[in-house]
Amino acid sequence: ATYARALTDIQQRQGRVPPGLYGDYGFLLYLRGDYPGAIAAFEREKALFVESTALMDRLIGRVRERQGAAPPPGGVPAPTPPY
């Protein structure tokens, strides 16, 4: 929630968020298990900064792979980077 607030504040003050911030936010959401939120943040990064398209598409693909995987019976798996 704090990171999302910071993104909103930056966007309101400067009119534009620096490259990489939505990508970072997406990674944090991924680590928390919020896969739809991570994908949305990666998509936003890609829309704002087309040069990040290849990396964001790769991360989105990895998150979607993880999304389809069932968690182990003992509970939530330890987070691993999507790359």
Q: What is the pLDDT of residue 69?
A: 66
53-66 pLDDT per residue, tens: 999 999 999 999 98
Q: Is the pTM of this model over 0.85?
A: no
Cα torsion angle, 49, 29, 37, 74, sign: positive
- Calculate Rg over the CA atoms of the chain: 14
- Supply the DSSP string of the chain, one letter for each residue: -HHHHHHHHHHHHHSSPPTTHHHHHHHHHHHHT-HHHHHHHHHHHHHH-GGGHHHHHHHHHHHHHHHHSPPPTTSSPPP----
